Structure 1
């Protein structure tokens, strides 16, 4: 029995979570789903967007499924805070096109430092944000990237940085990358400035297998990956630490379409595939992933973000039918 903390959150987070849980319950694996609150609606009820009860339950669970939350200006980001509390230093985002074989790479994003460290201060009319990069943070994310490439049979790991402008912070990241690359002689290693990386993703995506980068850069690149695929509704993500895992779609809560039953559940469902892999349930993950692939490749049942007219539930039902 696996204990899974479920945090639907706000907006379409609620709508894509339910069919995902329904699908997981059809697998030959026993789950205990424990629902907890976070996000804007939680803040309205409890005065906080991330209650301590939610954090503690996540720590006690085998894994966490996270929908999406709406940001609140007076509160720190619930998902960023949860990543820090659980020390989920890896953010893994596969970018896979079903129509273009050149687009098939994974972004490995450092998840705990950089400009997401909440180190801001105001001095008069001057506001300063501190970008924190450490040797430890760089080493562990880069080692994860190379180990991931080795495990999945990828040939190349690329570091994306801006060491020409940020010679101290990104200098640490770049130097650590090449130091660690020496431990993996069978994997090619190279680096690009982040702006060049962004250009090459559009002009020549086939040159990438695994991209490892810092927090903000990884966040931006993965949205660019969504653009390459045509929809953020197709991109899952895994947040992984030494003791916990949290799995979420890359898209946000999309309040503009909430309640209209047209949110794409694919990213949430694929995120649950990553969770199954994390739990060691590879056979179940492969079964579900193939069902998703089959539905997308048939190109018949699709939500409006993919130029279709089907509802969230109709897409989920089609995946269940394939399974």
Structure 2
């Protein structure tokens, strides 16, 4: 496997090294290719990501990514949107399930769901006009984009409970009628049970009744918001991984941002980054290794070797080292 390692900005420079330490503990034949991207590079060179960077990413099998700081400067080109579009990684996958030893804001542990978000269009189409007194963003929903994200959701559902929840706002946004119709047609043709819910109702039910859902499929912006909100069920953004999947490439990142307020303090929680690396192992069909990483994370949490956000006193490197040490013990 050839892996592009992108630390990015802020706490990305802290959590990715911790995840790599855990990966190294598995002693896998992986070639790691460091790539500098993001705001820090933009400040130095005027470009956050170049065509040469994209060529390197395309030569790799997958990407392990930290976090990016996005300034308000309109000339700044979004790194994440660029990578997703150039590598056509159309499916954003965010598993939301309990972690042994942690309770989220509701105190529940009876949920296990995954949010499947269309990743290349919608409100993140990148088609915008900025004027002095008005700004426009074009929301793009296509049959192709809706079909392939629905197909991906159904593929996941068939390996789970064979049901999907389609989240939309078609009562107000007419573009969502196309998304809803395509998702219904796809689920029906795939013999997957389906229901649909308006996004505002889903925001409520996801917190109050998370056990009702298995695979949730939705558009770009709705999926972004709902998945961050659902992280509260698990225990916070520092605990939730994600994957961006395409036909040829995959990209794995924690859902938290660059958190400049705590960057450099050594207190960032690396668990989401380690879990993102675990998702990478699963994508590469290294199932046994992924199970070892999950077991090691839960062991360390139950030993209270965690960062302050989880009530512990450990630093970011200490948590990474503790998980890596446990991985080595489990392998031996």
TM-score over 0.5 for the pair: yes
> SS of the counterpart of 1:182?
helix
> SS of the counterpart of 1:66?
strand
Instruction: Name the CA distance, whole Å, in 2 between partners of 1:4 and 1:277.
Output: 14
Give 1:155 deviation, angstroms.
3.7
44-53 vs 134-143, which deviates more?
Answer: 44-53
> SS of the counterpart of 1:7?
strand
Q: Please tell me whether the aligned partners of residues 159 and 177 of structure 1 are also in contact (alpha carbons under 8 angstroms).
A: yes
**Could you say which residue in structure 2 is the equivalent of 1:317?**
321
Change (3 A) 1:97 1:299: farther
Q: Please tell me whether the aligned partners of residues 21 and 321 of structure 2 are also in contact (alpha carbons under 8 angstroms).
A: no
Counting only pairs closer than 5 Å after superposition, residues 138-157 of structure 1 correspond to structure 2 as 138-151=146-159, 153-157=160-164
**Could you say which residue in structure 1 is the equivalent of 2:30?**
31
Matched pairs, number? 318
Cα RMSD, aligned residues only:
1.4
Change (3 A) 1:189 1:125: same
Give 1:154 deviation, angstroms.
2.5
Instruction: Name the CA distance, whole Å, in 1 between partners of 2:88 and 2:112.
Output: 28
**Could you say which residue in structure 1 is the equivalent of 2:187?**
181
Regions of 4+ moved over 3 Å: none
**Residue 3 of structure 1 pairs with residue 10 of structure 2:** no
Instruction: Name the CA distance, whole Å, in 1 between partners of 2:263 and 2:297.
Output: 23
TM-score under structure 2 length normalisation: 0.92
Give 1:123 deviation, angstroms.
5.6
**Residue 108 of structure 1 pairs with residue 113 of structure 2:** no
Counting only pairs closer than 5 Å after superposition, residues 90-109 of structure 1 correspond to structure 2 as 90-98=91-99, 99=103, 100-109=108-117
Q: Please tell me whether the aligned partners of residues 111 and 215 of structure 1 are also in contact (alpha carbons under 8 angstroms).
A: yes
Give 1:311 deviation, angstroms.
0.9
Give structure 2 stretches of 5+ with no counterpart.
328-332
Instruction: Name the CA distance, whole Å, in 1 between partners of 2:32 and 2:132.
Output: 48
Counting only pairs closer than 5 Å after superposition, residues 275-294 of structure 1 correspond to structure 2 as 275-294=280-299
Instruction: Name the CA distance, whole Å, in 1 between partners of 2:265 and 2:131.
Output: 44
Instruction: Name the CA distance, whole Å, in 2 between partners of 1:48 and 1:210.
Output: 38
Instruction: Name the CA distance, whole Å, in 1 between partners of 2:23 and 2:62.
Output: 13
**Could you say which residue in structure 1 is the equivalent of 2:129?**
121
**Could you say which residue in structure 2 is the equivalent of 1:159?**
166
TM-score under structure 1 length normalisation: 0.95
Instruction: Name the CA distance, whole Å, in 1 between partners of 2:310 and 2:230.
Output: 15
